[in-house]
Amino acid sequence: MANILIADDEELIRSFIKRIIEGLGHEAFLAANGKAALDIFKKQSIDLSFVDIRMPEMDGLTFLHEAKKIKPDTTVIIITGFPSAETITETVEEEGYTYITKPLSVQNIVDLIQRGLSGKMET
């Protein structure tokens, strides 16, 4: 069983991903903003994180940067509703491994969880 963090300011997105995670037998930790996500990340042993790029109090790329300071080998998957070349470049540069665009699909999330937990993420 893995501990997976979901940080998104949209409650529907958090709930959607949580149901998938729990259906796979993993534990989900939820945060509505980047600051709350970082607090959870510091207190729990998080194996994988799904983090929205645009959130109040701390954006996803700032979370990624701070999380890497704490646990350099952590896998963070950036969620974005606004894919752009700049966003993708920043994510790769910050070693975010990959990103997923909204709307989200069950199969895509399942695949990312499996790849992320097996250490087979690609930039």
Q: How far apart are CA 37 and CA 7, in angstroms?
A: 6
Chain segment 21-61, per-residue pLDDT in tens:
999 999 999 999 999 999 999 999 999 999 998 898 998 88
Euclidean distance between CA atoms 21 and 25, whole angstroms: 7
This prediction has a pTM of: 0.87
